[in-house]
Structure 1
Amino acid sequence: MTWSVAPDGGGTRVEFRADDVPTGVSAEAHAAGLAASLANLAGHVER
């Protein structure tokens, strides 16, 4: 996973790239995991 965080107007832009995702990980499961990671990140930075 490669993550980048940059200012964007009044907020923050988070971009990520997933390379070499194992074959057994479905797109849906991967998307759910990424969404959970972003929610956790938001919980830390939006205090």
Structure 2
Amino acid sequence: MTWSLTEVPSGTKVTIICEDVPYGISKEDHDEGLTSTLDNLANYLE
């Protein structure tokens, strides 16, 4: 995973590029995990 954080007028834009995701991990599972990670990060920073 490559994470990029960019300052924007409303806060921070987070771009995540996922490459070579292991076979058997569905897009839905991957999206759910990333969403959880970003929610945890937001809670930590608040």
Q: Same fold (TM over 0.5)?
A: yes
Runs of 4+ in 1 over 6 A off after TM superposition: none
State the number of aligned residues.
46
Name structure 2 gaps, 5 residues minimum: none
CA RMSD of aligned residues (A): 0.9
Q: TM-score normalised to the size of structure 2?
A: 0.89
SS class of match (2:39):
helix
Cα deviation per residue 1:1-47 (whole Å; 9 max; x = unaligned)?
110111110311000000000111011100000100110111122x2
Aligned mates of 1:16, 1:28 — CA distance in 2:
15
- Aligned pairs for 1:1-47 within 5 A: 1-45=1-45, 47=46
Give TM-score, length-normalised by structure 1.
0.87
Uncovered stretches (5+) of structure 1, i.e. residues with no partner: none
Q: Report percent identity of matched pairs.
A: 43
